[in-house]
Amino acid sequence: MDIAELINEISLALEVSSDRINAETTSEMIDEWDSLGQISILARLDLAYDDITEKVAELASALSVSEIYKLLRNAGL
């Protein structure tokens, strides 16, 4: 998994253009990344990465692309 793949998954989850998201994007920068958006991101990650949120509980509170990426990389993805 690379950062571009993660950005694509997040943009699909939030239903926004991937041009609006980069490695430095935080939830405060994208209106669609609210509490429902966070759940959508988690659901999308679970689909893409075999129920990863069960293995990495910290994803539920991750509020930036870089934080999510770091957690996924630490989980071996």
Segment holding 52, helix H or strand E: helix 52-55
What separation in angstroms does the CA of 6 have from each of 44, 55? Answer: 10, 17
19: Cβ contacts below 8 Å, ≥ 6 apart: none
pLDDT tens digit sequence for 11-33? 999 999 999 999 999 999 999 99
**52-76 tens-digit pLDDT:** 999 999 999 999 999 999 999 999 9
Domain spans in the chain, listed from the N-terminal domain onward? 3-74
Give the model's pLDDT for residue 55: 95
pLDDT value at 1 more than 90:
no
Question: pTM score, two decimals?
Answer: 0.94
User: What CATH code would you report for 3-74?
Assistant: 1.10.1200.10
Distances (CA, A) of 28 to 1, 35, 65, 73: 24, 11, 11, 23
| Residues 37-54 pLDDT 10s | 999 999 999 999 999 999
